Amino acid sequence: NAQLDSALQESYQELKKRAEDLRASRERIVAAGDAERRKLERNLHDGAQQHLVALAVKVKLVKNLIEADTHTAKAMLEELGGDVQEAVQQLRDLAHGIYPPILVDRGLGPALESAVMKAALPTTVVADGVQRHRQEIEAAVYFCVLEALQNAGKHAGEGASAVVSLKEEPGALLFEVADDGAGFDVKAKALGAGFTNMSDRVGSIGGTLDVWSELGKGTKISGRIPL
C-alpha cells in the first residue's frame, strides 16, 4: 500500500510539473506574439509609412507646380515613380520576413530550398515525397529549421556545412538539421531562447524535439510532428 501511495504521489508530482511547463510555454508563446507585433509596428512605421508620407507631400507639390512649371513637375513625377517602387519593395521584403509566400504557395521543400540559399553555411536540403500540411505544421517546421540553421551558422564554426532532411512516415512528419561543426555539451549548456522557441513551436502542435550534439562531432536537431 505504501508502494502504491508513493507511486501515486510520483505521478501526481509528474502531472503537476507538466501542467506547470505547459502554462509557462503558453505564456512564452503569447509574449513572443506580442513582441513580434511590436517589431512589425516599428518596421512599418519607420519603413513604408515614412515613404508613403513623403510621397503624399511630393504629390501635393507636383499638383501645385503642374501648370506653373511643367518641366520641374515632370521631373518630380519621374522621381515619384522611383519612390513608389521603393515603398513597394520595402513592403514586399517586410511581408517575406513575416511569412514567406513560397511556404504558402509551394510548401516546405521549395521554401527551405529557397531559405538555405541565404544560410550562413553551405546547406543541402533533402525533402523527397513531403506532402503539403496544415499551415501551423508547415510554419512550425520551417521556423524551427531556420533557427537550427542560424545556430549552425553562428556556432558550428569555420568550414562546417549542414544538411536539412524532411521525411514522412505513416502518421508523422520528421525533420532534421545536422551539421558537422564544433558541437557542444548538451548537458552542460543551458539551452537558450532559440531552443526554447523551437520546443514551444513544436510542442504547440503536439510534436517533440530532440537535440543531439557532441564536442567535435557536430549537432543534430530533430523533430517529430504527429499528422
Ligand X SMILES: Nc1ncnc2c1ncn2[C@@H]1O[C@H](COP(=O)(O)OP(=O)(O)O)[C@@H](O)[C@H]1O
Q: Which does 189 bind (CB under 5 to 8 A by kind): ligand X, Mg ion, none?
A: ligand X
Q: Which does 191 bind (CB under 5 to 8 A by kind): ligand X, Mg ion, none?
A: ligand X
Nearer to ligand X, 58 or 155 (CB): 155
Distance CA 89, CA 105 (A): 20
Say if residues 176 and 220 touch (Cβ distance below 8 Å): yes
CB of 210 to ligand X, least distance (A): 13
**Residues between 75 and 134 that touch ligand X (CB under 6 A):** none
| DSSP assigned state of 45 | I
CA 106 to chain centre: 17
Nearer to ligand X, 127 or 156 (CB): 156
**Residues between 188 and 207 that touch Mg ion (CB under 5 A):** 194
Q: Which three cell numbers stand for residue 34?
A: 506580442
Query: Binding marks (x or -) toward Mg ion, 133..162, rule CB under 5 A?
Result: ------------------x-----------
Amino acid residing at 115: A
Amino acid residing at 207: G
CB of 197 to Mg ion, least distance (A): 8
Query: Judging by beta carbons within 10 Å of its beta carbon (0-12, 13-18, 19+), is residue 100 exposed, middle or buried?
Result: buried
**Residues between 132 and 151 that touch ligand X (CB under 6 A):** 151
CB of 45 to Mg ion, least distance (A): 27
Which residue spans within the chain are E strands per DSSP? 123-126, 162-169, 172-179, 208-214, 218-226
Please report whether residue 220 would count as binding ligand X according to CB under 6 A: no
Please report whether residue 223 would count as binding ligand X according to CB under 6 A: no
From the list 29, 66, 174, 182, which residue makes contact with ligand X (rule: CB under 6 A)?
182
Residue recorded with cell 520551417: 142
From the list 191, 206, 215, 217, which residue makes contact with ligand X (rule: CB under 6 A)?
191
Beta-carbon neighbour count of residue 56 at 10 Å? Answer: 9
Q: Which three cell numbers stand for residue 112?
A: 527551405
Q: Which does 156 bind (CB under 5 to 8 A by kind): ligand X, Mg ion, none?
A: ligand X
Distance CA 221, CA 227 (A): 19
Parallel, antiparallel or unpaired: strands 123-126 and 172-179: unpaired
Query: Binding marks (x or -) toward ligand X, 9..48, rule CB under 6 A?
Result: ----------------------------------------
Binding footprint of ligand X on the chain (CB under 6 A): 151-152, 154-156, 179, 181-184, 189, 191-195, 219
